Chain A
Amino acid sequence: MNLPFTKLAATQKLENALLVSILFFIFKIFFPLQDSTIIILINETFAFLAVYFWLLYIVSIIEFKVKSPLAIVLNAGILNALLFFIIAVSSSVLTEDPAFSPGTGFLYVLISSLVSFVFIAGNVYIFAAFRELFFLKQKRDPRSYFNVMSLFIALAFIAQVLEKLNDSLDFLTDTFFVVSIVLITVNSLRVAWIAFLTKRQKLYLLIISVVLSILFGINFYLTFESMLVNQVILNFSYGLQMFFSLIMIYGTIYFGVIFFTTLFHLPTAEAFDRKAEEVSSLMDLSKLITEVFDFKELADTVTTVTNKVCNSESSWLVTKNNNEFELISVNNIGFVEADKITEAILRPGESDITELKITSSREIKFVASDDLKSANFSSIAAAPLMLHNEINGYLFVGRKSDFEFDEEDQKSISAFADYASVALENAKLIEKSLEKERLEKEMDVAREVQYKIIPNNAPKFKDIDISFFFVPAFEVGGDYYDFFELPDNKLGFVIADVSGKGISASFVMAEVKGIFASLSKMIESPKELLVKANDVLKNSLERKTFVTAIYGVFDFNKGNLTFARAGHTPLYHFHEGELESLTPEGLGLGLDYGDLFSSTLKEMEISFNYNDIIVLFTDGIPESQNLNGEEFGYEKLKNIIIELADKPIQEITNEIMKQVSLFAKDNSQHDDITLVIFKKVKNKKDGVI
């Protein structure tokens, strides 16, 4: 329902209200007496419009204020007291003055108008205040109830006027008056907002409401009884008198209802306060969980609010890691004491407490040693921090007063424990992701090291084609290969794999590169070189780290290859249609630093003829896995080499890498993959690959 002028801005409403009021006043000056029907009608229309516009204005300004019900109540109360004061003063001082009888004098008009307008403003404000209170904390829109009531009040206003014009219409006035009171009573029952006040506010409201209810009653009585005011107002407007009395009745009933409702709410006020505090604490906590990464800080908040909400003296929080408890936060209790009580209650080694457990002082004394001063706790509650059926810690609450933890307390403690466990989990996840990030950075460094260490280009020899391929795993392995141009038309090469992964493996790899690069210039025999490398590594390798390697030297003058294998995957030699897997004996570097290494290492010499192929690789190829956990194996690798033996070696390399990646397509690559292929080509021109 949209009444006219409701959409205007507040200032325009004020302008309208003032305009009507001034016109009304001017009208009053010219026609102070209501002595004809037409004057009565115009007079009452002015009165009605004045009430209406003032109401519109005041409703709109009240809406801008903070919706604190007590403030609204207080405002209405003060205005009501003002009206009471005017009535009381005028009754005692002015009643007896015969000169001040209704008349046409300007003074009379002025004073009566002033009094009436004060009454209009006061009553309209009170009515607006009631309207505001009425809509507070209402879930469904109750507008129609209020509007119907307002309509009947307006009808009672009009009926009062009509009655003046025609006495036989008094039944109308009575009817609308009674219906209005019934509606006022019904609407007065909407006082849901009382429940949301704190206990103190309720006590305050209780006192105010009883005073105001009585005051409104007195005012109602006086507007009829006080001859002067009654006369003044009646003379001013008949309808207004009806309006004022209805508002006074409204006030009496409304504050009466408020009084009794508040009275009935009082016993539960404390529980309500506590619940409200718990809810707001939990809301604060859940906000903290997303904002605070430091679990310690959160734990402090948890113990503090737990104490506050549960009316307990002490609270502390322990976390559980691998069956070890760690005190994270204490509130109003010493670390040592909290530790002792924790131990006494949890009794490490015994089965976990999986539900909230209350321990009474007698039990505490029984389980704890004598020197424990905790005896002055009457009871201690321990709530597990459970998540995914796993206990991550406990929240302890100690109370010194004789009141046991009731069901409400226990529920709150459990709720706070649940929040703490979520927060703890969250903090762990964040730590994990930070750790992951750190690891990724580390891997980036390791990968960079690796790329710098391995050669980008193969040396160019006229008799040999060299192809290689290297794919680092996410967690960088320690693969390494290198070529060394040696005097007398010789080419040295190494392929190596450091055990382990990550930055430590890449450091070892860097060292290995240094060792091979320098030894290759000094030692010709692959076996001797590896023995020497093992000796050097002795001083730097961790016990659990080892390096597998093959070192070999092509002698193009003699047409042969000499190599030794230190624990590395086989060297494949393709020769005249056959592929031979060569694994001369040899321990991995770092497996043994004694004589065994050199005594078991065998050097092998093979011929290296036209179209012969040598394939070197690391275990990343045969150990590539698909999602079923099957390995690529050695056979597939061999078959590809045999099949493509007469093709350029770049094609062989590509095919191997293609097959490996197809095989392990959906699985992540666990280890570095390195592949190096040599092929003897006789008719190659210098400088061309």
Chain B
Amino acid sequence: MVDFSVDTRGSEPVQIIDVKGYLDAHTAPELEGVFNKLIDEKKFQIVVNFSDLTYISSAGLGVFMAYVETMRENNGDIKFSNMNESVYNIFDLLGFPMLYEFYKDEKEAVEKFNQKGK
């Protein structure tokens, strides 16, 4: 099975989370851990880069739902970028595009945050 890995990078205030591999019920807690850590560090402006994600299950999707409210309450957001078509279709079927912002490129998402910030 394809492994999953998650890393954060980026300078303040926007943090970028790189998710790689297979995000399902088993690997979701890893991503939750990253979100918890970011919230502890008071980093609420998040861009999730999906360029290396091969699969996402419903439990994986649930992670974003669990944290988006906290981010938004703190003047932040979770924005998605660099999604391949099949992963986007899963988000799309669920209606995520009506609730979240999706960007082709990570930079656009970061810029969007920065515009808001000013």
A residues at B contact (CB < 8 Å):
475, 497-502, 542-546, 548, 567-570, 583, 585-588, 590-592, 596, 600, 619, 623, 625, 629, 631, 670-671
Q: Are B95 and A543 in contact (CB under 8 A)?
A: no
Q: Count residues of chain B with CB under 8 A from any CB of chain A.
A: 22
Which of chain A's residues has its CB closest to B54's CB?
A629
Interface contact A546-B93, CB-CB below 8 Å: no
A-B pairs, top 9 by smallest CB distance, nearest first, are: A499-B58, A544-B62, A587-B95, A544-B66, A567-B94, A588-B94, A543-B66, A500-B59, A501-B25
Give the chain A neighbours of B96 by CB distance below 8 A: 591
Cα–Cα, bound, A590→B2 (Å): 29
Known: A475-B25, A587-B94, A629-B54. A501 touches B59 (CB 8 A): yes
Which residues of B in the span 68-118 have a Cβ within 8 Å of any Cβ on A?
69, 86, 90, 93-96, 98-99
Q: Is A600 a contact of B95 with CB atoms below 8 Å?
A: yes
B57–chain A nearest beta-carbon distance, Å: 7
Q: Which of B24, B54, B57, B94 contacts A546 (CB 8 A)?
A: B94
- Pick the most buried of B55, B66, B86, B93: most chain A CB atoms within 10 A of its CB: B93
User: How many Å from the CB of A146 to the closest CB on chain B?
Assistant: 68
Partner of B98, one of A544, A568, A600: A600
Q: Does B38 contact A (CB under 8 A)?
A: no
Partner of B95, one of A475, A502, A591, A623: A591
User: Contact: B95 with A631, CB < 8 Å?
Assistant: no
**Given A544-B65, A567-B95, A591-B99, are A629 and B2 also a contact pair (CB < 8 Å)?**
yes
A567 touches B98 (CB 8 A): no
Q: Is the Cβ of B66 less than 8 Å from the Cβ of A497? A: no
Q: Does B63 contact A (CB under 8 A)?
A: yes
Q: A670: which of B57, B65, B98 is its contact (CB, 8 Å)?
A: B57
**B61 proximal to A (CB < 8 A):** yes
A-B CB contact pairs (8 Å), 12 listed = A475-B25, A498-B58, A499-B58, A499-B61, A499-B62, A544-B59, A544-B66, A545-B62, A546-B65, A587-B99, A592-B99, A600-B95
**Which residues of the other chain, A, contact B99 by a CB distance below 8 angstroms?**
587, 591-592, 596
Interface members, chain B 16-39 (any A CB < 8 Å): 24-25
CB-CB under 8 A for A500 and B25, given A543-B66, A544-B63, A591-B65: yes
Cβ of B24 and Cβ of A543 under 8 Å apart? no
Contacts of B54 in A (CB 8 A): 629
Shortest Cβ distance from A599 into B: residue: B98
Could you say which residues of chain B place their CB within 8 Å of the CB of A631? 86
CA distance A671 to B24 in the complex (A): 11
Give min CB distance, B88 to chain A, whole Å.
Answer: 14
Chain A residues with CB under 8 Å of B2's CB are 629
Within 8 Å by CB of A567, from B24, B63, B86, B93, lies: B93
A437 to B106 Cα, complex, angstroms: 43
Pick from B25, B65, B90, B94: contact of A543, CB below 8 A: B65
- Indicate the member of A501, A570, A591 with the most B CB atoms within 10 Å: A591
A569-B61 Cα distance, complex, nearest whole Å: 15
- A568-B93, A629-B2 given as contacts; is B98 within 8 A of A587 (CB)? yes
Residues of chain B with a CB closer than 8 A to A600's CB: 95, 98
B95 touches A586 (CB 8 A): yes
Residue of B nearest to A667 (CB): B1
Alpha-carbon distance A542/B58, docked complex (angstroms): 13
Whether the Cβ atoms of A596 and B98 lie closer than 8 Å is yes
Nearest opposing residue in chain A for B86, CB measure: A631
- CB-defined contacts of B65 to chain A, threshold 8 Å: 543-544, 546, 590-591
A241 to B69, CA, bound (A): 109
* 5 extra interface residue pairs, beta carbon distance < 8 Å, beyond A499-B59, A546-B61, A591-B94: A497-B58, A568-B93, A592-B98, A625-B55, A629-B54
CA distance A252 to B24 in the complex (A): 84
Which chain A residue lies CB-closest to B65?
Answer: A544
Closest CB in chain B relative to A326 CB, distance in Å:
20
Q: How far is the CA of A640 from the CA of B27 in the complex (A)?
A: 33
CB closest residue in chain B, given A478: B58
Find chain A residues with CB under 8 A from B24 CB: 670
Shortest distance in angstroms between A517's beta carbon and chain B's nearest beta carbon? 23
CB distance from B10 to the nearest CB of A (A): 24
- Closest residue of chain B to A500 (Cβ to Cβ) is B59
Residue from the set B25, B69, B90 with the largest chain A CB neighbour count within 10 Å: B25
In contact, B95 and A585 (Cβ under 8 angstroms): yes
Q: Residues of B contacting A542 with CB < 8 Å?
A: 66
Report the minimum CB–CB distance from A620 to chain B (whole Å): 10
Which residues of B are found within 8 Å of A586, using beta-carbon distances?
95
**Which listed residue, A543, A568, A670, touches B69 by the CB 8 Å rule?**
A543
